[in-house]
Amino acid sequence: MSAECIFCRIVAGEVPADVVHRDDDVVAFRDLSPKAEVHVLVVPVRHVPDVVALGAADPQLLASLVRVAGEVAAEQGDGQFRLVFNTGAAAGQTVFHAHGHVLAGAGAADVGL
């Protein structure tokens, strides 16, 4: 855990969040500034800076994160979703704890890209 990392602090329960999934490896919570009807962030409990580092450090954990993203999309909507990993500041990453944006429902197809 990194004391300066906002997502580590959410995972630890030190900062409140609207958590929709929690297990030993992965936590999912609603984005503070939603860009679509469903906008949930799926994060590993373990602190790694981005999705590439996550895949290199623990491929199984990345697979778990993708599974949870699908479960969240099925629970919160009809199971169709976009999964976006901004990687690097120039690509729009602002929190350097790996996270996937689950975007679903109204507005999801209109976000970025």
Q: Does 32 bind ligand AMP (CB under 6 A)?
A: yes
Question: Which stretch in 50-58, 65-73, 93-101, 102-110 sits in contact with ligand AMP by CB under 6 A?
Answer: 93-101
Token look-up 């630890």 returns 12
In which element (H, E) is residue 104 found? strand 100-104
Tokens of 50: 């981005």
The only residue of 5, 6, 19, 57 in contact with ligand AMP, by rule CB under 6 A? 6
In what side-by-side order are the strands of the sheet with 38-44? Answer: 19-22, 26-30, 38-44, 100-104, 82-84
Q: How many Å from the N-terminal Cα to the C-terminal Cα in the chain?
A: 32
For residue 17, state whether it binds ligand AMP (rule: CB under 6 A).
Answer: yes
Using rule CB under 6 A, residue 94 touches ligand AMP: yes
Among 46, 93, 105, 107, the residue binding ligand AMP under the rule CB under 6 A is 93
| Least CB distance to ligand AMP at residue 56 (A) | 19
Stretches 20-28, 31-39, 42-50, 52-60: which one binds ligand AMP (CB under 6 A)? 31-39
- 33 in contact with ligand AMP (CB under 6 A): yes
| Three-state secondary structure readout of 37-94 | CEEEEEEECCCCCCHHHHHHHCHHHHHHHHHHHHHHHHHHCCCCCEEECCCCHHHCCC
Residues in the site for ligand AMP, rule: CB under 6 A?
6, 15, 17, 31-33, 41, 86, 92-95
